[in-house]
Every structure is written in C-alpha cells, then in structure tokens.
Amino acid sequence: MIVLTNYLIVGSILFVLGAIGFLARRNLITLVLSAEMMLHGVSLNLVAFSNFHQNMQGQAFTAFILTVAACEAGIALALILTLYKRSKSLDVNLWSQLAEADIESPHEEEPAVPTAQPTQEFPHLTPAGRSPQFQKETANRV
C-alpha cells in the first residue's frame, strides 16, 4: 500500500519552502539553491504519480528535470560569477536597473550586522597552473 497524497504533500511543502526561500533571501547562490529545491518538490510529485500509474512516464520526466536542473545550475553559476565580478557582492538587491526612474532604490545602506561569532574564514582556492607568490610579510611570518 502506498498513499499517493503523502508524497504529494511532501512535494508541495518542499516546493513552497523553496519558493519562500527564493523570495526572502538575498544571496544569489541561496536563491538558486531554493529554485533547485522547488525542482525537487516537482520531481517528487512526478515520481509519485509514476508509481501511482505504474508506468515510466513520470520517471522519464524526472530524468529530464534532472538534465534541465544541471543546465540551469551551470548557467546560473556562470551568471552569478559575472555579476559578482561587476559588483563584488552577491546581493540581489543591487541589480535593480529595471526600476522606474524616479523610484528610490530599495537598496539602502544598512548598518552592518554585529555577528556573534568571529568572522568565518572560507577556504581560498589557489590559482591553478602557477606557483603561489607570497607577500613579503607573509613570507616573513612563514
């Protein structure tokens, strides 16, 4: 016994949460992740229907969704990199050139958020194909 609605409910919850994330978050990468999660909800729906109807059509469609999601992720990330190169920020609010001319920009300078934990360090990639050149003080420290 398999209850179709159970899966549909989970799928729709994933879809809606993804939508909320897409609307509310401002980091471009998080936005793309949220969109991917909406695709998960849809995929789950299709698989559940496939099982319900006992045929492979739903699964075939899910395979296509997988393909499209991969393409989407690749292009979105390339775009994000381009945008980041221009503005040195991943904030989606910076990109509002389509606005009406006299509407004040929604992007206002906010006070920096005091973070409780110390600044998190992210790993930096070393450029491939070249030997890293150390700064003088770094070398001294080393």
Partner 1 sequence: MSELTPALLWLIPGAPLIASVFIAFFGKALLRGRSHVPCIAALAVSSACAGVMMLTFLASPSSLKQDTSLLSSGQIDGLQAEAEKHELKPLATTPGYDWSITDNLHVRLDLQVDSMTALMLCTITFVSLLVSIYASGYMHGDPGYPRFFAAFALFVFSMCMLVLADNYLTMFVFWEGVGLCSYLLIGFWFQKPSAAAAARKAFVVNRIGDFGFILGIFLIWKTFGTVKFSEVFDLVPSIAQTNPEVFTTICLLLFLGAMGKSAQFPLHVWLPDAMEGPTPVSALIHAATMVTAGVYMVARSTPLFVMSSTAQMVVSGIGAITALLAALTALTQYDLKRVLAYSTVSQLGYMFMALGAASVSPKLATFAVTAAMFHLFTHAFFKALLFLGAGSVMHSMGDVIDMRRFSGLRHVMPHTRLTFLIGSLALAGCPLLAGFWSKDEILVALFEGTKSGGHETFFTVILGVAVVTAFLTAFYSFRAYNMTFLGEERFPEEAHHPHESSPTMTLPLFALAGFSVVIGLFLGPTGVYARQLSQSTSLAGHGEHPHSWALMGLSAVIFAAGYGLARWMYVTAPAVPAKLESGLKPLHHLSLNKFFLDELFHYLLVVPVRVLALLCTLFDKYVLDGLLNFVGSMPSTIGRAVRPIQNGLVSNYAWIMLLGVVLFLIQMLRALAG
Partner 2 sequence: MQWLKEHWLLVLPMVLGAFAVARLMPKGEPRSSLVARLVGLAAVGIVGGTLLQPTGSVLSDALFYLFAGVAVLGAVLMITHRNPAYSALWFAVVTLAVCGLFLLQSAPFLASATVIVYAGAIIVTFLFVLMLAQQAGATNYDQRSRQPGVAAFTGFVLLGALLFVLSPSKEQAATRPVTGFVSLAPKVVPVDQSSDQLSTTPQSTSATTAENFGTMRGLGRSLFGDYLFAVELAGTLLLVASIGAIVIAPKRSSGKL
CB of 9 to partner 1, least distance (A): 16
Separation between Cα atoms, residue 53 and residue 59, nearest integer Å: 11
Residues that bind partner 1 (CB under 8 A): 19, 22-24, 26, 31, 92-93, 95-100, 103, 106
Residue 27 has φ and ψ, to the nearest 5°, of: -75, 130
Picking from 30, 26, 29, 24, the residue whose alpha carbon sits closest to that of residue 110 is 26
Q: Which is nearer to partner 2, 100 or 110 (CB)?
A: 110
Q: Which helix (H) or strand (E) holds 17?
A: helix 4-24
CB of 81 to partner 2, least distance (A): 5
Asked whether 34 and 18 are in contact (CB, 8 A), the reply is yes
Q: Which is nearer to partner 1, 66 or 75 (CB)?
A: 75
Eight-class DSSP state of 98 = T
Site residues (CB under 8 A) for partner 2, limited to 23-82:
23-27, 29-30, 32-34, 36-37, 40, 43-44, 47-48, 50-57, 59-60, 62-64, 66-75, 77-82
Q: Which is nearer to partner 2, 93 or 138 (CB)?
A: 93
